[in-house]
Chain A
Amino acid sequence: AQSVTQLDSQVPVFEEAPVELRCNYSSSVSVYLFWYVQYPNQGLQLLLKYLSGSTLVESINGFEAEFNKSQTSFHLRKPSVHISDTAEYFCAVSASGTYKYIFGTGTRLKVLA
């Protein structure tokens, strides 16, 4: 079975500052890893995913995440945040080739002016 831990429930950060949202997982099999973003009163949207290959994956809006197998982590980072990045971010894991996802409890990112 897989599990996901997002250590921070809320992260306040000032605009243009860097941010890291932490995600750790546990699994006895190889996994695929995902970050989803949820803006207020909306559904979830895929931000980025790791399936295989390069351990550093990037999104089109400046976020990146690095798969670290030895530390079983998939932390999300952005070097300079904007007010529009204010949202809830969910880390998710699925066993390779299976459909069922396990989501973390989410991290609320609040960007302050």
Chain B
Amino acid sequence: NAGVTQTPKFQVLKTGQSMTLQCAQDMNHEYMSWYRQDPGMGLRLIHYSVGAGITDQGEVPNGYNVSRSTTEDFPLRLLSAAPSQTSVYFCASSYSLAGVYYNEQFFGPGTRLTVL
């Protein structure tokens, strides 16, 4: 199992450019999330998905779009990059047992994004 993979590892964008951060998991987890990590602010939830075709907003969704067409993939799109989106982005997945969610999240290695 590769677990949760993210590409690219590093990215530099200019203000106004768009891009997609890729996230994939091979554990057949139904739950997937995107977080951003900023110094002194911990991790903040951007968007999450509880299954293919189902997504919802987290704490800081503005400027980001997501879709979930398959169980494995959960890409994060930046529509028009801004310097405030400079951050480290983590994708995570999780699962439930017997219909109850209570388990740990499995994190990818992160994407470090700089917007100039």
Interface size class of A (residues with CB under 8 A): 20 to 34
Q: Tell me the B91-113 residues at the A interface (CB within 8 Å).
A: 92, 94, 100-102, 104-105, 107-110
What chain A residues lie within 8 Å of B31 (beta carbons)? 99
A105 touches B101 (CB 8 A): no
B41, A105: Cβ atoms closer than 8 Å: yes
Q: Contact: A101 with B40, CB < 8 Å?
A: no
- Cβ contact within 8 Å between A90 and B110: no
Q: Does B45 contact A (CB under 8 A)?
A: yes
On chain B, the residues within 8 Å of A51 by CB distance are 102
For the side of the interface on B, what is the size category?
20 to 34
For the complex, would chain A's binding face be called helix, strand, loop or mixed by DSSP majority? loop
CB < 8 Å A-B pair total: 52
Determine, out of A14-22, A38-46, A56-64, A70-78, the stretch whose residues face the partner at the interface.
A38-46
Could you jot down 16 A-B contacts, CB within 8 Å?
A9-B40, A32-B102, A42-B110, A44-B90, A44-B92, A44-B105, A46-B104, A51-B102, A90-B42, A90-B43, A99-B50, A100-B48, A101-B33, A103-B43, A103-B44, A105-B41
A 52-97 contacts with B by CB, 8 A: 90, 96-97
**B40 close to A105 (CB less than 8 A):** yes
Which residues of B are interface residues toward A (Cβ below 8 A)? 4, 31, 33, 35, 40-45, 48, 50, 58, 90, 92, 94, 100-102, 104-105, 107-110
Contact between A96 and B42, CB atoms less than 8 A apart: no
Closest to A98 in B: B101
B105 touches A101 (CB 8 A): yes
A45 touches B107 (CB 8 A): yes
